[in-house]
A = this chain, B = another copy of it.
Amino acid sequence: MDLRTRQRIDDFLKAKGLRKTVQRDAIVQAAFGTTEHYTAEDLLVMARKIERSVSRATVYRTLPILVECGVLREMDFGRDFKYYDPNFVDHPHHNHLICVDCDRIVEFEDLGINTMEDCITKRLGFSPRSKMVRIEATCDELHRLGTCRNRAKG
């Protein structure tokens, strides 16, 4: 895991007067030991491989800390649970395409859309905080060729 991410988290905890614990450490290691998107439940499983004592409640209490710290992005794809994205620091502007055929989530970056969003936000009299584009789509060629991996994990 990136040393700058680690440093940023340590600084954040110190600034907020939050303590370092083995559980938080395990959750952080797990959270940034992958580049995949994951759910709170996924993260619980991953963190428990590092430190058996980690509980569900602690995962749910740690996630918003990492989000507020700015190292993790929370994403709502319209399902009844949230996904978290650890690639936020390296790619802060990416957006998501969600395939309704196979549940795959494809990331993309597009500077043009970002600029447009900023313009629109200003025009409406607001200051942008966070922006997301969410495109639902179907598999196209992939689907026709029969290579669409149905129900793939997001």
Give CA–CA (A130, B136) in the complex, Å: 5
For the complex, is A146 an interface residue (Cβ under 8 Å from B)?
Answer: no
Q: How far is the CA of A126 from the CA of B130 in the complex (A)?
A: 25
Bound CA–CA A127/B98 (angstroms): 11
Contact between B131 and A135 (Cβ–Cβ < 8 Å)? yes
Q: How far is the CB of A135 from chain B (nearest CB, A)?
A: 5
Interface size class of A (residues with CB under 8 A): 20 to 34
Q: Is the CB of B117 within 8 A of A135?
A: yes
Q: Tell me if A106 is interfacial: C-beta within 8 Å of chain B.
A: yes
Count of this chain's copies in the oligomeric assembly: 2
Q: Does the CB pair A129–B134 fall under 8 Å?
A: no
Residues of B within 8 A of A89 (CB): none
Contact B137 A134 (CB under 8 A): no
Known: A97-B126, A99-B126, A125-B141. 16 other contacts (CB 8 A): A100-B129, A110-B116, A110-B120, A113-B116, A113-B117, A113-B120, A125-B139, A125-B140, A126-B139, A127-B138, A128-B136, A128-B137, A130-B135, A131-B134, A131-B136, A133-B133
- A-B contacts, 10 of them at CB < 8 A, read A76-B76, A97-B121, A97-B126, A110-B116, A112-B116, A113-B113, A126-B139, A127-B137, A127-B139, A132-B135
